[in-house]
Amino acid sequence: MDAATRTLDLSVLPPEYRVAFEAQATRVAELETINRRLEHLVAELNHVVHGRKSEKLDEDDRQLAFEDLEIAVAETRERKQAQAPGEDRPARKNVAQRNRGNLPEGLERIERVIEPDSLECPCGCGLMHKIGEDRSERLDIVPAQLRVIVTIRPKYACRACTDGVTQAPAPPWLVEGGLPTEGAIAQVLVSKYADHLPLYRQSQILARSGIDIHRSTLADWVGVAAFHLAPVVDRLAEHLKTSTKLFMDETTAPVLDPGRGRTKTGYLWALARDDRAWGGDDPPGVVYFYAPGRHGEHAENFLTGFDGILQVDGYQGYNRLTRPTRKGGSPITVAHCWAHARRKLREVFDRDGSEIAAEGLRRIAEIYAIEKDIRGTSPGQRLSARQARSAPLVAAFGTWLQVQRLRVSAKSRLGEKLAYINAHWQGLQTFLSDGRVEIDSNNVENLVRPIALNRKNALFAGHDEGGKAWGRIASLIETCKINGVEPFAWLKATLTAIANGHPQSRIDDLLPWNFKPSR
């Protein structure tokens, strides 16, 4: 049957059939358009996840891409359902089930009972009785509720004498004579340093609720809090430096340079402890130290009092820590990062498909496969497995590395990457002699990511002192997060305790991992 025969002549149909046919054809065309859009969006999602490394977005941009693409997919799917005839409309089983039923028991429940219009039995038997019920829960969100705490202190005097007036003392406030409660200050800190909302945006949000508080006033609150929280951060740093193994990394923190009317590059150095991979007893924590530069002497100063193993990337500024002339302690043992070594080879492979780089990546993948097998076991078990299984692979990699360096020009792109790995070869083998050491420094890199997010949103710190406050508050918030402590609850309780004169001798009680939230 040819196409002409298959073409339907609508003119021979009765008018009512012709209208119905045209409506159905229009609906089919709309659904086909929607399907093509869904296919296009799915292809874009696949590209974000599985695209070439050189075309992939960084972690933060990828999350934004996911959000917008998933919004578009949901919108298109909803449009497709709306286009379907009522009787053919599918049940909404394709709605994502993520987080369904995962509503904490502590949330307030407001029950709304929906009764039938009539309880009379249709057959006239009288009133029906209840045999059960169906319950469903949905999450409702009420915008932030602002309230005013009014403190009233009655005065009392004796009618028979004039010996004096009795009145309860005023409760202590963190900001003496100021507007905010400790909870309000905690909310500003969490919004700025955990949710990455600059103060001027917070001021705009408050204005929508009729509260006119200038950015500079919010900045004053943050400054007061940063001052009072400084001893807690100092104690946190002391606690970390008693460890035998730490991570360290650094990231840029742009700071306004008023004299030149532009920004200069400051740095936040992250010092972290995370022994969860081998079941260590010490809780995880991180402290961000601000410095106006990246010179190795800053790391040397920050690490005064620490003697142990330091897991770092390949930055040469850390080399001074390994020398006998190191200030502030004995020479440090450095554990270098295999993820950085792998990254160097990946850069070459993604650019020109180098077979040598591919072979190096394959060899490193074998070492990582062993790490995956032993993750979560004790340091002794990790060490035994590494000596038995990983050490031969690392030795073979070292031999392969030297052979390839003789074959490849030192000035080539691949030659430079191989030279980088060779320069850090001793540190790359540290994990073979200590089961507590990780194969890479990804733990601390993950803790640097929130700084990058705040940097994107706030653009820069207004002063070197602002950079210090940034690092101080971020230290406490991120330490809360990696210990499973809700930052707002901890900050509110800690600021309240400080306002009430918490003794310095019990400062360890204020460390995030010692926090016990009240019901």
Q: At a CB cut-off of 8 Å and minimum separation 6, what does 244 contact?
A: 308, 309, 436
Residue 2 has pLDDT above 50, yes or no: no
72 domain residue, yes or no: yes
182 domain residue, yes or no: no
516 domain residue, yes or no: no
Choice among 64-73, 171-180, 432-441, 462-471 with the minimum mean pLDDT: 64-73
Cα 197–Cα 492–Cα 224 angle in degrees, nearest 5: 70
CB atoms within 10 A of CB 209: 11
172 domain residue, yes or no: no
Quick check: 316 and 336 in contact, CB under 8 A?
A: no
User: Which pLDDT belongs to residue 47?
Assistant: 61
Q: Domain ends where: 416, 447, 478?
A: 447
- What are the tens digits of pLDDT across the range 397-441? 999 999 999 999 998 999 999 999 999 999 999 999 999 999 998
Mean pLDDT over the full length of the chain: 82
Domain region containing 72: 14-45+68-85
Q: Domain ends where: 447, 481, 510?
A: 447
- What are the tens digits of pLDDT across the range 332-386? 999 999 999 999 999 999 888 899 999 999 999 999 999 999 988 999 999 999 9
- What are the tens digits of pLDDT across the range 189-239? 999 888 888 888 899 999 988 888 888 888 888 888 988 999 999 999 999
User: Which pLDDT belongs to residue 123?
Assistant: 82
193 domain residue, yes or no: no
Angstrom distance (rounded) from CA 188 to CA 47: 38
Q: Domain ends where: 27, 58, 85?
A: 85
Give pTM, 2 decimals.
Answer: 0.76
Quick check: 222 and 284 in contact, CB under 8 A?
A: no
Longest C-alpha distance within the chain, in Å? Answer: 117
Q: At a CB cut-off of 8 Å and minimum separation 6, what does 125 contact?
A: none
Taking Cα atoms as reference points, which of 225, 237, 168 lies closest to residue 497? 225
160 domain residue, yes or no: no
Question: How many domains in the chain?
Answer: 2
CB atoms within 10 A of CB 271: 27
183 domain residue, yes or no: no
445 DSSP 8-state letter: H
304 domain residue, yes or no: yes
